[in-house]
Amino acid sequence: MNDVPNTLSLIVLGISLALLIGILLWWLLITTEGVYLGRRVVVWLYDVYARRYDRIKQYIPSWESTTLGRPMLTALRKARVPAPLVLDVATGTARLPLALFGQPAFNGYVIGLDYSRRMLAEASRKVAPIGFRISLIHQNAMDLPFDDNTFDAVACLEALEFMPDWHVVVGELVRVTRPGGLLLLTNRKGQEARMMPGKTQPAQAFASYLREQCSLEDVSVAIWQMDYDLVWAVKPGKSLAAPDHSLEAILRCPQCGHRALIRTRGKNPALRCTDCETQIPIASDGVIEFASSIK
């Protein structure tokens, strides 16, 4: 007699459980883009979506120019740097480099770094016409292969919340910015930000962190997109801009950490460390395969 209600409860229980698992998987893989499952899952998801990324994002070039390229160029000009050296961490498909090089008055150099090789492959295709003034490096943002105080400006857009530890990445961004240099970051906001506990924070809390824990100056938050605010800041102090913008002059060897790389050409182009003989391959699409050179 009791069999029907029992079966019904089992079916309801089964459906509820399946729904719960579905919601959990959606949250883990879609809403939070794998960030609670570790760095490898995040990067794998970006690899999977790389070819569709721009179609999903639908960036509008005039908006990119007005809100990113032009303001950054203006800030760099104010700092009177003749040919600025810019680092874009988690560059993705080269959004910031393209916004900057889209400004005819920009005469600097950009390094774009990302841990998703396929995002970099897309970036490489798009920046090909720019030539030697842009380099792309495959590497983890948690450990930037540059000396302290190297770049005139450092950006990291729509990415901090996907890092294993955003505090470490912000520390790295500040470390490699030269005194007097500019930082351009984003802070996630809105409904989805609230669904990423520990990975996001209110804009004012982030700004206070940058002021108090990172000793940055002129920290300002600007409303930008529905999901993100832009956060501008300056590293205190003054220093001279790097005289040599070549990759060989600024990239550290992944093994010995020395700045002793020279470019070797020929069939298998690479950067070779003259101290420890480590080779960093340069792939056919021009991407510097830094991550795979770390033993």
Choose which of 28, 37, 39, 227 interacts with ligand SAM (CB under 6 A). Answer: 39
Pick from 178, 171, 204, 177: which is nearest to 189 by CA?
Answer: 204
CB of 141 to ligand SAM, least distance (A): 3
The one segment of 21-29, 139-147, 230-238, 240-248 that binds ligand SAM by CB under 6 A? 139-147
> Which residues have a Cβ under 8 Å from the Cβ of 226 and sit 6 or more positions away?
190
Q: Please provide residue 231's backbone torsions phi and psi, each rounded to the nearest 5 degrees.
A: -125, 120
Q: Residue 170 belongs to what H/E stretch?
A: helix 166-176
Residue 242 interacting with ligand SAM (CB under 6 A): no
CB-count burial class (<10 Å; 0-12, 13-18, 19+) for 19: exposed
Q: Which of residues 167-206 bind ligand SAM (CB under 6 A)?
A: none
Q: How many CB atoms lie within 10 A of CB 240?
A: 10
Which residue number, 115 or 180, has a Cβ lying nearer to ligand SAM? Answer: 115
- Residue 101 to residue 134: CA distance in whole angstroms: 9
The count of other CB atoms within 10 Å of the CB of residue 224 is 18
**Least distance between ligand SAM and beta carbon 44 (Å):** 10
Number of residues that bind ligand SAM (CB under 6 A): 20
Told to check if 115 binds ligand SAM by CB under 6 A, we report: yes
Residue nearer to ligand SAM on the CB measure, 108 or 145: 145
Which one of residues 98, 100, 119, 196 is an interface residue with ligand SAM (CB under 6 A)? Answer: 119
Binding map of ligand SAM across residues 64-93, x = CB under 6 A, - = no contact: --------------------------xxx-
Contact segment (CB under 6 A) with ligand SAM among 153-161, 187-195, 237-245, 250-258 equals 153-161
Backbone angles phi, psi at 281, to 5 degrees: -65, 145
Tokens of 272: 């070779």
Which positions lie near ligand SAM, rule CB under 6 A? 39, 42-43, 46, 90-92, 95, 114-116, 119, 140-142, 157-159, 162-163
